[in-house]
Each structure stands twice: as C-alpha cells, then as structure tokens.
Amino acid sequence: DTEVTQTPKHLVMGMTNKKSLKCEQHMGHRAMYWYKQKAKKPPELMFVYSYEKLSINESVPSRFSPECPNSSLLNLHLHALQPEDSALYLCASSQRDGGLAGAQGAKNIQYFGAGTRLSVL
Amino acid sequence: GDSVTQMEGPVTLSEEAFLTINCTYTATGYPSLFWYVQYPGEGLQLLLKATKADDKGSNKGFEATYRKETTSFHLEKGSVQVSDSAVYFCALRGGSYIPTFGRGTSLIVHP
C-alpha cells in the first residue's frame, strides 16, 4: 500500500471560517509534509514533520496551523484565510532518512496524496 | 544548494510522436532523481526514479537515465498518447530528505 489519503477533496470556505484538512498514511513513514500548489507551478513546501515533531516551517503565516497527532495522521488547521490562499494543498510522506543512493535509494521516495482543492471566498 | 532545471513548456505533440522533456540538476553528492506526473485536477504521482549513476528508470513506456557526467535526467517516451497529457515534474533528493522540484513541464498531446 503506497497510498496517502487526503480529505476533503474540495473545500470552499469564507475568510472567517475555521476548517481542517486531513492526511493519512499507513506506510510507516516518519516524515510527513504539507505543500501548497498554485496553478501551473511546482509544489511549495509549507511544513515538514519528522517523527511527529515539526521540523520545518517555511515561514508560513500563522493562519495555517499544522498538527501531527500520531505517526499516521497529519492535519492542517485553517483560520481567517485570505482569497490568495486558494490553491491545491498536497500532503506527502516518506521515510525519514534521505539515505544514500543505491540500496537505500528507495527511502528517498516521496508519496503524494491527491490533494485538497481549497477556495477561499 | 540543490536545484532542478526543466525545459519550459508547454510541449505540444501529436499522438504517437516521440517525447523528450529535458531535466538537469545541481546537487552535492549522489542524489536520487525522480519524475512525477500530475494529471489535471489530481495530486502528484511518482512516474519513475533512479538512485545512482547510469540507472534507468522506466514506467508506462516512459524512460529516464541518470547521467552524472552531464547532470541530466531527461524523460523520454517513444510514442505518446492523448492520455499522457499532464504536467511532468523532475525532482531530486540529496543528503537532506527534503526534495527539490523543477518548475514542471506541461505536455499536451493532440489526437
């Protein structure tokens, strides 16, 4: 099973709403990621969790609040978003260690969910 | 730091044409290299990978060879189909477990 499941698939919210995006994986991966992707652009890294601890925050505004309740789940809590936050939000997971090339290369694979298409009105 | 450079798109081809999407990289050490594909309205799917020099990744008729001497990982397919229309991202992972993505190349295949 190489599946990363994201819910919901689509979300429309007003600027005063509070909502959450959810991500789940059962591959035993200990690194999980949130990305934001605008149309026709590559994914932009937002947050990285490593062993359930936040290890990277790419200067993301505080209206985005990540949470990793356990090793299989990753949430992104949204509050007071702006219309420019409308985008596709992607979750991904991988084994924690970058590893070396060759035999350990399989550890380097990052698996993505299908994303949540967010529209902020 | 690490970087990935992809050819600009869109690449527009007729069905059954030969496809090449260029990708070059800059990294220290021995990164692993990947191609991801994103179909309209969907997330990224791993298409193929190569973990060391001269490795060839292949999947669904697509191929790419890890060329350390030219720091390249060009994506090729001998005969494209309309269903291959998507955005293709070249990516690498070096010593850090955080990947670096190219800008993406849009492929449009006409019947």
- Shortest CA gap A1–chain B (Å): 14
Q: What is the pLDDT of residue A120?
A: 95
Per the listing, tokens 């959450």 go with: A20
**Residues A108, B36: C-beta atoms closer than 8 Å:** no
**Three-state SS letters, chain A:** CCCEEEECCEEEECCCCEEEEEEEECCCCCEEEEEEECCCCCCEEEEEEECCEEEEECCCCCCEEEEEEECCEEEEEEECCCHHHCEEEEEEEECCCCCCCHHHHHHHCCEECCCEEEEEC
**pLDDT at residue B78 is higher than 50:** yes
Segment of A30-34, B41-45, B50-54, B76-80 carrying the highest mean pLDDT: B76-80
Tens-place pLDDT, residues B3-29: 999 988 899 999 999 999 999 999 988
Q: What is the pLDDT of residue A64?
A: 97
Average pLDDT over every residue of A4-8: 96
Nearest CA in chain B to A117: B41
Tens-place pLDDT, residues A21-31: 999 999 999 88
Biggest distance spanned by C-alpha atoms of chain B: 43
Q: What is the pLDDT of residue A95?
A: 83
Distances in Å between the Cα of A1 and the Cα atoms of A17, A111, B44, B75 are: 35, 11, 16, 26
Phi, psi of A96 (to 5 degrees): -70, -40
What's the CA dihedral at A33, A3, A37, A23 to 10 degrees?
-60
**pLDDT at residue A62 is higher than 50:** yes
Average pLDDT over every residue of B98-111: 93
Higher per-residue pLDDT: A58 or B70? B70
- Shortest CA gap B21–chain A (Å): 16
Nearest CA in chain B to A4: B43
Give the nearest partner residue to A31 out of B46, B89, B97, using CB atoms.
Answer: B97
Average pLDDT over every residue of A50-68: 92
**pLDDT at residue A101 is higher than 80:** no
H or E, element range at B19: strand B19-21
- Shortest CA gap B15–chain A (Å): 23
**Residues B104, A41: C-beta atoms closer than 8 Å:** yes
Q: What is the pLDDT of residue A58?
A: 87
Biggest distance spanned by C-alpha atoms of chain A: 49
B36 neighbourhood in chain A, CB within 8 Å = 112
Higher per-residue pLDDT: A96 or B47? B47
Average pLDDT over every residue of B53-72: 96
